[in-house]
Structure 1
Amino acid sequence: MSGTLFSFCLMAIGARELSGELSVFQILLCRSVIGLLCICISIVISISTQKINLRTDRLGLNIFRNIFHFAGQYGWFLGIGALPLAEVFALEFTVPIWTLIIAAIFLKEKITLTKIVSVLLGMAGVLIIVQPGYAIVDPISFIVLGAAVCYAISHTATKSLSASESAISILFYMCLIQLPIGLLLSIGNWSWPVGLQWLWLIIIGMTALSAHFCMAKAMQYAEVTKVITLDFLRLPLIALVGISLYAETFEISLVLGGALMFIANLVVLRRRRVS
């Protein structure tokens, strides 16, 4: 989880450093290229010791998943360049709440009182952070919320795919499908990276993979509730990064709203463990 926290924070710094210099679509294209190269190298290295199956019978669902995942990444990177880093991370914590709702609708998962309480707590956290009617609401906040919904749809599709696909297969098709999408959308506004921009692009590509790899490994060794608890440390950590590197102010509403969403996530996870 230390690797996860470090990766997410470093990826956010890279996104902020490239904001306004390269288009988000171009950043996402380079992220897919680097990710695909890393996965292919990993496959070549391990092919002598284990059989890796990349075949899929659910290409349509893979495409569906990655369209929404790409849209979620676009909104997240857009938010990183326009909002305080802590606000983007706090709003991102609504992903499990949206996932509950979407899974109930499309996967026919049972709606329980626990889940309803979790959703209400999560929505209260969003209202505290965005403060509609009290502060001037930045439209980018709603884009980041939209990104969280897209991530939730992607996670729901991943849950369905994981029943028949390996993790390496899901990651492989993620990069393979998103690469041409990024290329198509960035080609009209292309500018070649220079100097440190190349370094930041490599960092974004590598940390995007390492963050999810480290979290997946953490879930193998610890209960999900412990992983989620540690993952919540991203909020104060990225707040410190924003304050120290970008002179951002830290609002107490972010702590209160983020804490409510954290409690909402734990309510559902602890209920699952008991049942």
Structure 2
Amino acid sequence: MSTTLRAAFWMSGSIASFSTMAVLGRELGAELDTFEIMMYRSLFGVIIVVSLAGLTGTWREINTRNMPVQLIRNMAHFTGQNLWFYAVTVIPLAQVFALEFTSPIWVIVLSPLLLGERLTRARALAAVMGFIGILVVARPDMAGINAGVITAASSAIFFALTIMFTKRLTRTQGITCILFYLTTMQLVFGIVAAGYDGYIALPSAGALPFVMAIGAAGLMAHYCMTNALSIAPATVVVPIDFIRLPAIAVVGMLLYGEPLDIWVIFGALIIFTGNYLNILAETRQKN
């Protein structure tokens, strides 16, 4: 299996995990604010990472090298994730993902500058076709800009930075180390942000399983994405993530009655076509 196809396999796990997080975040939004959701998510993430590192012996990978990069990466992700969790509670899921997916445009533009990766025609074509597909699916109405739209669009910028610095870390750090600092740093950020008003809400018995699941899904999403980024360039990995949009549009329709029409199918076909052409070109180049 080529590196591009292996990266696509890992990204399928990331897509499923991020979609699960969106649904769980919406369900928890009525009981917990975004800072509390992030705090509890990170708490369960720390427990999972430390437990698995102890069982597998990978705790030896954890070190203090590249701490400035770890800090910047996790501050960017914490900010983007909080903006994203707020957005999924106030606007349709497909619209959130559509606006979030402007981040690959930033990645493809910035990767040559920050990561030294080449911007090939196939990668640029995949990004452009993916973005066109997103616009076809979501057909955003710029006249209806609100807080949800603004926060979703802003999260894309921070997610792009997260991807940039994650790719840089994979050059020198193991996945256990990256996930350890992801969860521990964001737990500290979450405690400070959630407790700034002197009160942190405890999840109810009914919400606790959702909180635990969102922690596991968040960790799995980053584990899969980090694996993908460790074996393939960011400009290959990120366009694959476009598939999340038609997937979440279907989820929104089934669970929340959000409208789904022929344009979603048409947009999804454009997205899949762009990804297929990109994977095909990368595979041929390797061979």
Q: TM-score of the superposition, structure 2-length normalised? A: 0.79
Partner residue, 1:249:
259
Tell me: CA distance 1:70–1:81, structure 2 relative to 1, closer, same or farther (3 Å). same
SS at match of 1:196: coil
Tell me: CA distance 1:88–1:259, structure 2 relative to 1, closer, same or farther (3 Å). farther
Comparing 159-168 with 7-16, greater Cα deviation is found at 7-16
2:111–2:235 contact (8 Å) kept in structure 1? no
Tell me: CA distance 1:66–1:216, structure 2 relative to 1, closer, same or farther (3 Å). closer
> Mapping of 1:214-229 within 5 angstroms?
214=224
In the alignment, does 2:177 pair up with 1:169?
A: yes
In the alignment, does 2:29 pair up with 1:24?
A: no
Deviation at 1:62, TM superposition (A): 0.5
1:115–1:268 contact (8 Å) kept in structure 2? yes
Partner residue, 1:203:
213
Deviation at 1:261, TM superposition (A): 4.5
Distance 1:43 1:61 in 2: 22
Distance 2:124 2:32 in 1: 41
Q: Over aligned residues, Cα RMSD in angstroms?
A: 3.4
Deviation at 1:38, TM superposition (A): 0.6
Cα distance per residue 1:186-236 (max 9 Å; x no partner): 1125222212121211110011122344566789999x9999898655444
Distance 1:14 1:185 in 2: 20
> Mapping of 1:153-164 within 5 angstroms?
153-164=161-172
In the alignment, does 2:39 pair up with 1:42?
A: no
Tell me: CA distance 1:274–1:143, structure 2 relative to 1, closer, same or farther (3 Å). farther
Deviation at 1:173, TM superposition (A): 0.7
Tell me: CA distance 1:206–1:112, structure 2 relative to 1, closer, same or farther (3 Å). closer
Deviation at 1:67, TM superposition (A): 0.9
1:225–1:266 contact (8 Å) kept in structure 2? no
Deviation at 1:16, TM superposition (A): 0.9
Partner residue, 1:149:
157
Partner residue, 1:87:
95
Comparing 60-69 with 263-272, greater Cα deviation is found at 263-272
Distance 2:13 2:132 in 1: 30
Distance 1:153 1:204 in 2: 22
Comparing 74-83 with 108-117, greater Cα deviation is found at 108-117
1:85–1:238 contact (8 Å) kept in structure 2? yes
1:89–1:235 contact (8 Å) kept in structure 2? yes
Comparing 165-174 with 38-47, greater Cα deviation is found at 38-47
2:242–2:271 contact (8 Å) kept in structure 1? no
SS at match of 1:36: helix
AA at the equivalent of 1:178: Q
> Mapping of 1:33-112 within 5 angstroms?
33-47=43-57, 52-112=60-120
SS at match of 1:110: coil
SS at match of 1:52: helix
SS at match of 1:104: helix
Structure 1 unmatched runs, 5+ = none
In the alignment, does 2:204 pair up with 1:191?
A: no
Partner residue, 1:131:
140
Distance 2:203 2:132 in 1: 42
Distance 1:65 1:229 in 2: 20
Deviation at 1:22, TM superposition (A): 0.7
AA at the equivalent of 2:254: S
